[in-house]
Structure 1
Amino acid sequence: MSAAPVRHRPSGLAFALASALAFGGAGVFARPLLDAGMDPLQVTWLRLAGAALLLSPIAVRHRRVLTRRPLLILAYGVFPMAGVQALYFAAIARIPVGIALLIEFLGPVLVLLWLRTVRRTRVSPAAAIGVILAVAGLGLLLEVWAGMRLDVIGVALALGAAAGQAAYFLLSDRTGDDADPLAVIAFGSITATVLLLPLARPWNLDRGLLAASMDLGPLPVPGWALALWLGLVCTAIAYFTGIAAVRRLSPQIAGGVAYLEVVTAIVLAWVLLGEALTPVQIAGAVVIVAGAFIAQTAVPGTPEPPAATPTEPDDRPAALT
């Protein structure tokens, strides 16, 4: 049994912001590879395989985690890592990207429902309001009404991705002293890499793309450097800081703050790729930030250590032992 996580707002917010920056940059750094003709699932596989390779020494060092927490390792690789990626890409093949992303980011809402109905845990009103605001802001940011088209299977796939995202928050809160977060990410990425192998078919990858120079905004960057950044920063560091944030903020509150990932992605695309924001999108970003701010207020402040109280001298005779 792992010890209950200690909640700590300042460090939790710092980790959450770092995770949002790392996750949010994935689309921007993957864009040159996609524009060069690489299949989206192959880019995803490269991202996970890169993380697995970089974290393999940690996996070897913490190999006992496989026997201590095998179900946690398997679940982390299946749901948050492989499941979200595969289901999301399957969804966008049938429904517009904005709709799929909005449905996927219902994950924090599912977290709230799970905690309230299954675990019978009290959900803070601030956390619930923050998540609701973030979902509304996400709808504005993505301007989902511009591509409304209902496909039952596509919606179901996107909801599967949302369930995988909810599992990410819930499972991250279950890591403890007996399961080092980096070890969980290492084995999770290895599991996801193996699971996505038949879908991504990396043996068909044009390896010349990794050696070619690509444009990241005004900067020429080799393809292998983009793949390395995706594996190290957008996967290994993103998941590690994400787990740290969840354990310090709680799953429902971290879910609200995690919507900053979408804001980060849009802003980075604006700065690096020149993708301008519309006034409605700017309003949506503001609403998301407001929702994240409200959600994080539900974390109790760091308690002050109790002041030492002077003890009165005891004049009673000591008891005989």
Structure 2
Amino acid sequence: MHVSQGRSAGLGLALASAFAFGGSGVAAKPLIEAGLDPLHVVWLRVAGAALVLLPVAWRHRHLVRTRPVLLLGFGLLAVAGVQACYFAALSRIPVGVALLVEYLAPALVLGWVRFVQRRPVTRAAAAGVVLAVGGLACVVEVWAGLGFDALGLLLALGAACCQVGYFVLSDQGGGSPAPGRSGTDAARTSEPPNPVGVIAYGLLVGAVVLTAVTRPWTMEWSVLGGDTGMNGAQVPAWLLLVWIVLLATVVAYVTGVISVRLLSPAVAGVVACLEAVVATVLAWVLLGEHLAAPQLIGGVLVLGGALIAQSSTPSAPTGPVASGPGGEPEAAGSELSARRVAL
């Protein structure tokens, strides 16, 4: 009964996390259309969430010594790179399309494994890649000469590539103790890093990098004091910012990490795919962005291909990991952890 209750709670938290993450693009797009630069919106999200999670970073400050490469990779690629590309894409293409393009990341990881690392992949994994690419062709309407802005699609693809870079970097920096380390540092290095700690430091690194790149002091701060349009309705800009920082980042990450501890990574990954569905529905209801029937079918194919590719990825651990209910370390799923930083 206890196990059943734990799984039910985990499923509920995973669903809550998927809904929270799925709304980030919908909340960000009106701010961009109101006059904020996409990179400035990214900076507001990352810096705000980093400030909220600062106590968590302090608690896990040993990660700076034991996992510096992982933290830098997470901050540069999974935070700064993914979000900058994703939010820039939102200024040119619909939310649902940008997110579905980003879901090519698991397929691209398999491409890296097969052609760069020269490791074999299963037939199911190859089928997943073909399915995802075919679905993407429907989403972007290739028969119409690309139905969306080409630069926007390239930016969304850039977000997926940044995720791949993070997956690869995480895979290279396993959990073995570094030469010359002993005692507490060696034990901590050999243990799976706390995923919330990695997220907190990734946000801090991303905030520092984005501050240098975006120069937030040049931002149109007056936009945050006004209203923004959402499909004809007027919504306070500051309320959308609170939504992005607290709900779509902090709450989404915390519920997502806890759900992975209560569920298997595979189940949590499947539930995470609801993010794309949530984002598409919210964009339809709140922003008036409609996708045609072929695009909806293509979206289903992309998600199906991503699920097959993710479940067929070679079992070498990548990305932050979390401890399961029984105390045994289990992979948190790099696709789950890193993809969500972008959303």
TM-score, normalized by length of structure 1?
Answer: 0.70
1:140: Cα distance to partner?
Answer: 1.7
Structure 2 residue aligned with 1:6:
none
In the other structure, the counterpart of 1:45 is: 43
Note the residue ranges of structure 1 that are not aligned, 5 or more in a row. Answer: 1-8, 300-321
Q: Structure 1 pair 112/295, CA: closer, same or farther in 2 (3 Å)?
A: closer
Counterpart of 1:182? 196
Which piece of structure 1 moves more, 284-293 or 206-215?
A: 284-293
Deviation (angstroms), 1:59: 0.8
The change in CA–CA distance for 1:11 and 1:75 in structure 2 (over 3 A counts) is: farther
Mapped partners of 2:153, 2:285: distance in 1: 31
1:205 maps onto 2:203 in alignment: no
**Residue 235 (structure 1) aligns with:** 249
C-alpha change, 1:290 and 1:107, in structure 2 (3 Å) is closer
Is the CA contact 1:126–1:297 (under 8 Å) kept in the aligned structure 2? no
Task: Give the gaps of 5 or more residues in structure 2.
Answer: 1-6, 176-189, 314-343
Matched-pair contact (CA < 8 Å) for 1:20–1:238: yes
Name the structure 2 match of 1:264. Answer: 278
| Residue matched to 1:69 | 67
- Residues 12 and 249 in structure 1, CA contact (< 8 A), matched pair in contact too: no
Aligned partner of 1:274 in structure 2 is 288
Seen in structure 2, the aligned counterparts of structure 1 residues 47 and 141 have a Cα distance that, compared at 3 Å, is same
Matched residue SS, 1:276: coil
AA matched with 1:226: L
Please report how far the alpha carbon of residue 201 of structure 1 lies from its aligned counterpart in structure 2 after TM superposition.
2.0
One-letter amino acid of the counterpart of residue 57, structure 1: P
Please say if residues 48 and 231 of structure 1, whose CA atoms lie closer than 8 Å, have aligned partners that are also in contact.
yes
Seq. identity, %: 49
Change (3 A) 1:188 1:261: same
State the distance in 1 between where 2:265 and 2:62 align.
28
Counterpart Cα distance in 2 of 1:16 and 1:190: 25
Q: Given the superposition, is the C-alpha separation of residues 231 and 123 from structure 1 closer, same or farther in structure 2, using an over 3 Å criterion?
A: farther
| Partners of 2:106 and 2:293 in 1: CA distance | 26
- AA aligned opposite 1:53: L
Which residue of the partner structure matches residue 133 of structure 2?
135
Mapped pair 1:224 → 2:238: yes
Contact 1:257 1:296 in 2 (8 A): no
Equivalent residue of 1:38, what SS?
coil
CA pair 281-99 structure 1, distance change in 2 beyond 3 A: closer
Q: Do the aligned partners of residues 69 and 14 (structure 1) sit closer, same or farther apart at CA in structure 2, a change above 3 Å counting?
A: farther
SS at match of 2:30: helix
| Number of residue pairs the alignment of both structures matches | 290
In the TM superposition, residue 38 of structure 1 has moved relative to its aligned partner by: 0.9
Shift of 1:62: 1.3
State the alpha-carbon separation in 2 of the partners of residues 23 and 223 from structure 1. Answer: 19
The structural deviation recorded for 1:281 is: 1.9
Residue 58 of structure 1 aligns to which amino acid in structure 2? V
Distance 1:36 1:285 in 2: 28
Of 19, 32, 35, 2:33 maps to 35
The change in CA–CA distance for 1:163 and 1:117 in structure 2 (over 3 A counts) is same
Q: 1:268 to 1:157 in 2, by over 3 A?
A: closer
Residues 286, 171 of structure 1: alpha-carbon distance in 2 compared, 3 angstrom cutoff: same
CA shift, 1:106, in A, is 3.5
Distance in 1 of aligned mates of 2:232 and 2:107:
38
| RMSD, aligned CA | 4.5
Shift of 1:51: 1.1
Q: Secondary structure at the match of 1:51?
A: helix
User: Which AA in structure 2 matches 1:107?
Assistant: A
Distance 1:129 1:21, change over 3 A: farther
Deviations 1:270-318 (A, max 9, x none): 122222231212222332344356457659xxxxxxxxxxxxxxxxxxx
Aligned counterparts, 1:56-95, within 5 A: 56-87=54-85
Partner of 2:27, secondary structure, is: helix
Aligned residue identity for 1:279? A
Distance in 2 (CA, whole Å) between partners of 1:185 and 1:158 is 22
Q: CA-to-partner distance for each residue in 1:91-117, whole Å, 9 max, x for gaps?
A: 899x97899877654422221123345
Q: How far has the Cα of 1:222 moved from its partner?
A: 2.3
Q: Which moved more, 1:290-299 or 1:229-238?
A: 290-299
- Counterpart of 1:25 in structure 2 is 23
Structure 2 length-normalised TM: 0.66
Measure, in 2, the Cα distance between the counterparts of 1:75 and 1:294: 26
Pick aligned residue for 2:159 from 158, 161, 169: 161
Give runs of aligned pairs for residues 299-310 of structure 1, distance below 5 A.
none
Question: What is the letter of the counterpart of residue 110 of structure 1?
Answer: L
- Deviation, structure 1 residue 43: 0.7
Aligned to 2:124: 126
Letter in 2 for 1:62: H
